[in-house]
Amino acid sequence: MDISVADSFYREYFEFLPKGFDDVYILHANSGEVYCFLAYLAKAHIKKTGAQNPLFVATKPYHEDIIKLFFPKARYVYYNMYLTEPRLGVLGDAWTSQGHNFWQIFSQRHFNSVNSNLGQIHYFDAMLNTLGLTREDVNKPEAKIPSSEKKEVIKIAEKIQLNKDKFVIIAPEASTSNLMPVSFWRTLVKELYSKGYDVFINATKLNEIKAKTHSLSYMELFALSSIAKGVISLRSGVSEFLIPSKTKNIILAPRFHWSPLLRAEQCIRGYSVMKLPFIDANQVHEINPELYLSENNLIDKIINLL
């Protein structure tokens, strides 16, 4: 690697920051991998490298919420360079510049390796390999919800007249998995209502599903899920992110849209949340929709798990 690339990158983003940081962690992934790193791996990696004052770099707005949830006292900055910084492709997983160790969480090389070996290695183990850690190094997730966020979601729930004593969150969107038909979600919502549950939809695009909704930050969604009776999600980073909320978590895991020749079971083999550390199998359930003969059979399974 040409050292001038690392130095020009440093000068543009870090030269004029107040001093006092050593190692730099650039969060360059979607919510699932960033959650896994911060919840399970960051403490172990920081201990291994001996960093005293690490700096986290958020490259998507919601990264900031995940940082604050697991490292509320950490120092971080936000730079909008997720898809706009070509040097990250050159710099790779790790490099040193101006006396600082830089770690990219995670590089395109990492993701190419995971996806080219889908089903042969679990994505969490791939993260361990990239970071030079083992499962013995992993920390149990300890999420800290600020009291201000708890108060805010209570206000939101009251504003939209959500039944705080018995409601379910549905998260029907995903960037990787095939979407479930809108008819499925409508029927599921209708069945939940018939069982006495209120329903909150967490979605940015789908508006055909009639249920209560409100725009929430990641932190607010986590706080809301902590008082819900359950979360039903299409497999996405949100599915992982909400696991430490300790509510019932039912995850639908169909095949990935970017590789239609792969069956859902192959995708699950490579990305199953049930293989993450410290998973409570009484609280977290992963379902392959392809194993069910009809929408009604699948909905009956979900209701029974709740």
The ranges assigned to domains in the chain are 3-137, 147-305
Higher pLDDT pick, 293 / 9: 9
pLDDT confidence of residue 115: 80
Name the pTM for this structure: 0.91
CATH of 147-305, one of 3.40.50.2000, 3.90.320.10, 3.40.50.360, 1.20.58.740: 3.40.50.2000
Q: What confidence score (pLDDT) does residue 1 get?
A: 54
In tens, the pLDDT along 24-62 reads 999 999 999 999 999 999 999 999 999 999 999 999 999
Neighbour count for residue 161 (Cβ, 10 Å):
9
Tokens linked to 79: 């730079």
Per residue in 141-195, pLDDT (tens digit) is 988 888 888 999 999 999 999 999 999 999 998 877 778 888 999 999 999 999 9
